[in-house]
């Protein structure tokens, strides 16, 4: 009886353990740090509602600021390593929803915006943030130029909610929380409404607007930088000529976990190799002499 070779050939290969984690790039770990900071900020606000210790509000606002640092770094690292994926893009959007959408709304709730109308505005703010990120993921490729970069933002980016977090931290430092919240409150149909929550309504409306905001681009090199570049090319004319011809595209080598590029590091690397070869040659001669 012949074995069923067809099923053997078409059967999928066994997946390695932690296959999803193996696919993460370095920038994705910074994105996860963004999400962790946003989640921790939520827990800090919950601790404030239970213990009424104002330091938990400070901690929540500081964690949102740290999440912003992670959000900036993951994009820079992805461009530096030239590694990006659809998984990283979706992960970045989900982390931004937690850190810059849900976390500021929960901090506002903890500071005293707990009326019915306040909750409606805060939910509207979070929904605008989610909609804005979804629109960006869909239209990013259409708005990109030939180099694959987006020249402008459509609507304010969701990390701009860090301004609202700064206002809430200022209010908490001034003791304006709970019943002492700035601008007081109004009672409409038996429910409280704090006018300060209108900042979240304005921020959410700007996110979903068609307002075009130019994206900060890298500044072109000035005359001094161009002069330095030309001087380096004159010092290494053969390297400049090979780069112009496309024969030398800044080769990169790894040695002892260190990335070495053309220029100063490459010269140090070649000098080190020469000394290493000389030492090995002398060692080989000594062994032959002993024999």
What's residue 150's pLDDT? 64
Per-residue pLDDT reduced to its tens digit, 204-259: 999 998 888 776 665 655 565 665 565 555 555 555 555 544 444 444 444 444 44
Q: What percent of the chain shows pLDDT beyond 90?
A: 34
Burial of 100 (0-12, 13-18, 19+ CB in 10 A): buried
Domain boundaries, the chain: 22-214, 253-291
Q: What is the distance between the alpha carbons of residues 195 and 16, in angstroms, rounded to a whole number?
A: 55
Q: What value does the mean pLDDT of the chain take? A: 78
Which residue, 77, 67, 68, 97, is CA-closest to 28?
A: 77
What's residue 138's pLDDT? 82
Segment 154-178 shows an average pLDDT of 90
More confident residue, 214 or 181: 181
Q: What is the distance between the alpha carbons of residues 45 and 187, in angstroms, rounded to a whole number?
A: 25
Which residue, 134, 140, 137, 132, is CA-closest to 156?
A: 132
Per-residue pLDDT reduced to its tens digit, 112-149: 899 899 999 999 999 999 998 888 888 766 665 555 56
Per-residue pLDDT reduced to its tens digit, 275-289: 887 888 888 888 888
* Both tokens assigned to 26: 């370095």
| CA-to-CA separations, 102 to 71, 108, 113, 147, 274, in angstroms, rounded | 16, 10, 14, 33, 58
Q: What ranges make up the beta strands (E) of the chain?
A: 152-154, 186-188, 191-193, 212-214, 253-255, 258-260
Q: What is the distance between the alpha carbons of residues 43 and 45, in angstroms, rounded to a whole number?
A: 5
The alpha carbon dihedral of 158, 160, 162, 166 has a sign of negative
As a CATH number, domain 22-214 is: 1.20.120.1760
């Amino acid at each position: 009886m012949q074995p069923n070779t067809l099923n053997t050939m078409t059967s999928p290969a066994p997946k390695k353990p932690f296959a999803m984690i193996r696919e993460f790039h370095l920038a994705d770990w910074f994105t996860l740090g963004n999400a962790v900071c946003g989640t921790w900020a939520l827990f800090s606000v919950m601790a404030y509602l239970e213990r009424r210790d104002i330091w938990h509000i400070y901690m929540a606002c500081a964690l949102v600021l740290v999440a912003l640092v992670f959000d900036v770094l993951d994009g820079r690292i992805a461009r530096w390593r030239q590694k990006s994926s659809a998984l990283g893009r979706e992960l970045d959007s989900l982390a931004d929803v937690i850190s810059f959408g849900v976390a500021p709304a929960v901090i506002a709730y903890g500071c005293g915006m707990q009326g019915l109308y306040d909750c409606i505005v805060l939910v509207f703010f979070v929904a605008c943030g989610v909609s804005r990120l979804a629109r960006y993921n869909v239209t990013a490729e259409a708005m990109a130029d030939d180099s694959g970069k987006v020249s402008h933002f459509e609507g304010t980016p969701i990390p701009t909610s860090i301004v609202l977090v700064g206002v809430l931290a200022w209010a908490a430092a001034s003791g304006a929380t709970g019943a002492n919240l700035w601008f007081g409150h109004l009672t409409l149909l038996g429910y409280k409404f704090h006018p300060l929550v209108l900042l979240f309504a304005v921020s959410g409306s700007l996110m979903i607007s068609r307002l075009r905001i130019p994206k900060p681009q890298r500044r072109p090199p000035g005359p001094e930088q161009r002069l330095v570049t030309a001087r380096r090319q004159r010092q290494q004319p053969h390297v400049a000529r090979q780069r112009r011809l496309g024969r030398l595209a800044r080769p990169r080598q790894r040695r002892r976990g260190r990335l070495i590029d053309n220029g100063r590091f490459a010269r140090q690397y070649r000098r080190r190799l020469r000394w290493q070869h000389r030492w090995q040659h002398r060692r080989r001669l000594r062994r032959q002499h002993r024999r």
